[in-house]
Amino acid sequence: MRSPETSWARSAPIRPLFAKELREIAGGRALWTLLLLACPLVGYSFFQSMSLYGEASAAAANSPVLAISLSPSDGIFVPTFGSFYVAVTLLFPFVAIRVLGEEKQSGALRLLVQLPYRAATIICVKLAAVFFAWLLCAIPVLSSVFIWWMAGGHLAAAEILTLFLGHLFYGLLIGAVALFAASITESSATAAIVTLAFTIGSWVLDFTIAGRPGWLEWFARLSLTQVIRTFEQGLLSASLVAGVAVAICGFVALTTIWLPPGIAIRQKLMRSALCIGAAAAALLLVSQLKTSIDVTEDRRNSFAVADANQLARLAEPLAITVHLAPEDPRYIDLQRNVLAKLERLMPHVSIRLATARQSFAASAGDEAYGEIEYRYGTRQDTSRSTSPREILPLIYGLADAQPPAPIPSAEFPGYPLVTDGAFVLLWFLAILPILIVLAWWRSRRLPSNNTTFHKEVVMNSSTKTLLIIAVSVIAVLLPAFAAPVFQVDLSSETAGAEPKSLVPVVGIWRIETDAGKTVLAVDGRQWKEGQSSAGIADKARALYGERYAEFLDRVQAYAYYPYVVAKDVDNFKNGEISVRFEGLSGRIDQGAGILFNLKPNGDYLTIRANCLENNLVLWKFEKGRRSSVEWVRNTPTATRQWHDLKVRISGNKVEGYLDGKLYLQHTLSEPVSGKIGLWSKADSYMHFDQFAATASE
């Protein structure tokens, strides 16, 4: 029976209750398990990010233009915090559930509600304890920020704080969901299943219906992972911050409704319906907020200052009709580079997707497909460009406004840094886990007697289990640290000359510049069938020694297909090979491919994309003849746009990716083993960049 002294409800001290909740969390295994597993997970991501950032920085040392693209927030902290996000998604629910689930399962909750505290006060204190637990779990990722700063790395305070705030909101939202799940279920295990249904269900939404048109697009926005993405992009959105706060308060209110025992289910359901209705109304209200701040140093989410000021002065409505499918890469570029920026700047912008209910394949026959219509006031114009350099002058013309003169300002310099990451491994794989184990032991307040220590700590089964888990994770991740990486560095190459790090075998391959960036070009405009590269005999001898004659026989048979070979990769069997490419011209073909499994006799495999045909094909070249192995159509590959091509090899299994999407899968008759390179066809004039290969066992 509840105490009649209700006057205590407002004056009862909160500190003892908060201390009790902290002891509950610290006394469980979930918190320490998460911390131990987060160490190698975050450490591996941080180490890999530092390694790749260092390689890019080394290339930027000879090319200041490349340095402009080096941002520690994007290159280091977004992927590092991303690994922490995985740990929070999968393990943090177990930490949050403990503050309520254990009491409910043991019956202590019935005693707790008899204390002179309101149910809302109890839940808020528990959420505060969850917040404190999240801060403890963030120690590994926060230590990475400190290590980067100690190594001399640049820290953009606004970007780091925004990223941290996004992950904090996500952690609190997961905690609120876990508390609600614990309040409506009878056991911690069931509460964990309900919470993981929310978190992992968000992944399902992301991988299945994200980017789909119609109501599926609205439904995909319910994904919990959407909370983090805007913060990762360096945007501080008022509607998102307010929306997450409303969602957290909504789950706290629902938990408060379902917490007290002895209240009829029907009454709880009625109160829950009112709570959900109020939360939905609040979310609808805050979604109208348009204020957002671009906190990035390089202003990647904004137009140039002069353009931003000019666009903000355009008062008439701007209506944009886009004839592109939602999954079309051109629409994604348009949305990111133009539409999203216009919505934040101009007071009256409406955007309509004319093909919102059609797929890319279904829209292919539409003559208007690819057009973007702009209507400002009574004037209208149409363009097919997705570049702000062409779209902004068009809008100024419709508004009868002069394009603004650029405002002189300091350009983003970029922050290259080459540093040794050896201490990172030592910290995350040894020092920090040891400190966590010691802190766990200290939190249990065990006696200092040596015999008791050995009995209760060393022989404690939970201690041994966590140590085994930590050692197992380290053992799994260590081979990944040693994975050999091959990357072509074009920064020191001479424009107009053949590449030094690659061996041209067929066709005309040379170094060129594109927008101030050094790239590799294959120029098929002067192509003649049967034309091998200059000095092919010497190059073949350098590649295969005494077997060069057999190799030359195959080269002559395949002279229709230009290719270069990576001379520093002798035998690639397993791993990933990737390259970026841009199709410039070609009447017969605009093909770009990754060559692999190159044998001493000249036979090889290649997976290639084609800007004219919009397909992805796995070709086999054997005994002087070419044959298709696997053919995938409807792979959007626009000309004069950069695309990402990747092949993943595991034994005899081959996967082909274009612009990050898996299109092709095939199982070969025998495992892959041979040299690698780049490939093209006939009169293709193509640019290549960022050719890299990562081997794995």
- What pLDDT is stored for residue 527 in this prediction? 59
Non-local CB neighbours of 643 within 8 Å, separated by 6+ positions: 329, 580, 581, 582, 592, 609, 637, 658, 659
- Write the DSSP symbol of residue 572: B
Classify residue 204: in a domain, yes or no. yes
The average confidence (pLDDT) of the chain is 80
Question: Is-contact 50 16, C-beta < 8 A?
Answer: no
| Contacting residues for 105 by C-beta, under 8 A, at least 6 apart | 186, 187, 188
pLDDT at 477 over 70: no
| Alpha helices (H) along 383-456 | 388-398, 422-426, 432-443, 450-453
What's the pLDDT score for residue 362? 52
The whole-number pLDDT of residue 475 equals: 47
The SS3 call for residue 162 is helix
Asked if residue 13 and residue 83 are part of one domain, the reply reads yes
Q: Which tokens go with 40?
A: 């190698």
Summarize pLDDT for 490-545 with one digit per residue, the tens.
Answer: 888 888 888 988 988 888 899 998 877 889 999 888 755 444 444 544 554 555 45
| Torsion angle of C-alpha atoms 40, 46, 48, 50, degrees rounded to 10 | -150
Residue 310's domain comprises: 303-398
At which of 350, 377, 398 does a domain end? 398
Helices 78-106 and 15-26, packing angle to 10 deg = 110
Pick the more confident residue, 284 or 421. Answer: 284
- What pLDDT was estimated at residue 387? 85
pLDDT category at 120 given cuts 50, 70, 90 is confident
Residue 219 has pLDDT above 60, yes or no: no
pLDDT at position 172, please?
93
What is the rounded CA–CA span in Å between residue 137 and residue 588?
A: 57
Q: State residue 561's pLDDT score.
A: 81
Instruction: Record the tokens describing residue 189, joined without a space.
Output: 């295990």
DSSP class of 498: P
Cβ contact 684:591 at 8 Å: yes
* Position 614 pLDDT exceeds 50: yes
- Residue 115 clears pLDDT 80, i.e. is over it: no
pLDDT at 215: 54
> Residue 118 belongs to what H/E stretch?
none
Percent of the chain with pLDDT over 70: 81
With residues binned 3-state (H G I as helix, E B as strand, rest as coil), the percentages for the chain, rounded to 5, are 50, 20, 30
Q: Give the number of domains in the chain.
A: 3
What is the pLDDT at residue 446? 45
Are 224 and 314 within one domain?
Answer: no
**Long-range Cβ contacts of 261-269 (<8 Å, 24+ apart):** 261/109, 261/110, 261/113
Instruction: Check residue 532 and report its DSSP letter.
Output: B
Give the pLDDT score at 359.
Answer: 52
Residue 622 pLDDT class (50, 70, 90 cuts): confident
The stretch 145-168 carries a mean pLDDT of 90
Question: Confidence class of residue 206 from pLDDT cuts 50, 70 and 90?
Answer: low
Pair (649, 683) in one structural domain: yes
Predicted pLDDT at 71: 86
Residue 94 shares a structural domain with residue 188: yes
**Do residue 549 and residue 683 come from a single domain?**
yes
The amino acid at 638: A
Whether residue 480 is contained in a domain is answered as: no
Q: Are residues 80 and 149 in the same domain?
A: yes
Does 609 have pLDDT greater than 90? Answer: yes
Distance, CA of 202 to CA of 199 (rounded, Å) = 5
User: Is residue 597 in a domain?
Assistant: yes
Among 92-101, 363-372, 656-665, the least confident range: 363-372
* Helix and strand counts by DSSP (H, E) for the chain: 26, 21
**Domain presence at residue 408:** no
pLDDT at res. 283: 87
Most confident option among 238-247, 381-390, 412-421: 238-247
Question: What percent of the chain has pLDDT above 90?
Answer: 27
pLDDT at 688: 95
Residue (of 15, 208, 232, 214) closest to 121 by Cα position: 15
Distance between CA 222 and CA 205 in Å, rounded?
A: 8
Integer Cα distance of 439 and 194 in angstroms: 31
Residues 176 and 252: beta-carbon distance below 8 Å: yes
Q: Is the same domain home to 132 and 233?
A: yes
Which residue, of 398, 432, 447, is where some domain finishes? 398
3-state secondary structure 627-661: EEEEEEECCCCCCCCEEEEEEEEECCEEEEEECCE
Q: Which of 25-39, 207-221, 515-529 has the lowest mean pLDDT?
A: 207-221
CATH code at 311?
3.40.30.10
Most confident among 219-223, 303-307, 616-620 (mean pLDDT) = 616-620
pLDDT at 697: 61
Give the confidence band of 9 by pLDDT, cuts at 50, 70, 90. very low
Structure-token pair, residue 53: 């950032």
Per DSSP, the three-state class of 346 is coil
Q: Is residue 643's pLDDT more than 90?
A: yes
- Closest to 679 (Cα-Cα) out of 595, 620, 623, 576: 595
* Same domain flag for 320 and 223: no
Same-domain status, 223 and 322: no
Residue in the block written with tokens 């083993």: 673
Residue-wise pLDDT for 441-462, tens only, equals 877 654 444 444 344 434 444 4
> How many residues make up the chain in this entry?
697
Domain boundary at 292, 323, 354, which? 292
Structural domain contains residue 426: no
Contacts of 581 (CB under 8 A, 6+ apart): 592, 609, 642, 643, 645, 686, 687, 688, 689
CB 583 within 8 A of CB 525: no
Answer yes or no: are the C-beta atoms of 57 and 63 closer than 8 Å: no
Structure tokens at 635: 């792979």
Buried-exposed string 225-256: b where 16+ CB fall within 10 A, e elsewhere: ebbbebbbbbbbbebbbbbbebbbbbbbbbbb
Q: What digits encode the pLDDT tens for the residues 63-113?
A: 666 677 788 888 899 999 999 998 998 889 998 888 887 777 777 777 777
- Whether 246 and 314 share a structural domain: no
Per the structure block, which two tokens stand in for 626? 């070419």
pLDDT tens-digit readout, 255-306:
999 888 778 888 989 999 999 999 999 988 988 888 888 888 888 888 888 8
> Which among 586, 555, 609, 571 has a CA at the least distance from the CA of 695?
571
pLDDT exceeds cutoff 90 at 166: yes
Angle between helices 15-26 and 119-137 (to 10 degrees): 50
pLDDT at 208: 61
Average pLDDT over residues 130-148: 92
Q: Concatenated DSSP letters for 274-312?
A: HHHHHHHHHHHHHTT---EEE--TT-TTS--HHHHHHHH
Please tell me whether residue 620 adopts helix, strand or coil conformation: strand
Judge residue 577's burial from the number of C-beta atoms within 10 Å of its C-beta, 0-12 exposed, 13-18 middle, 19 or more buried: buried
Q: Residue 28 has what DSSP assignment? A: S
Q: Is residue 455 part of a domain?
A: no
Dihedral angle computed from the Cα positions of residues 544, 547, 550 and 551, in that order, rounded to the nearest 10 degrees: 0
Domain containing residue 563: CATH number:
2.60.120.560
Task: Give the pLDDT of residue 399.
Answer: 87
Residues 334 and 263 in one domain: no
3-state secondary structure 456-477: HHHCCHHHHHHHHHHHHHHHHH
* 211/319 same-domain check: no
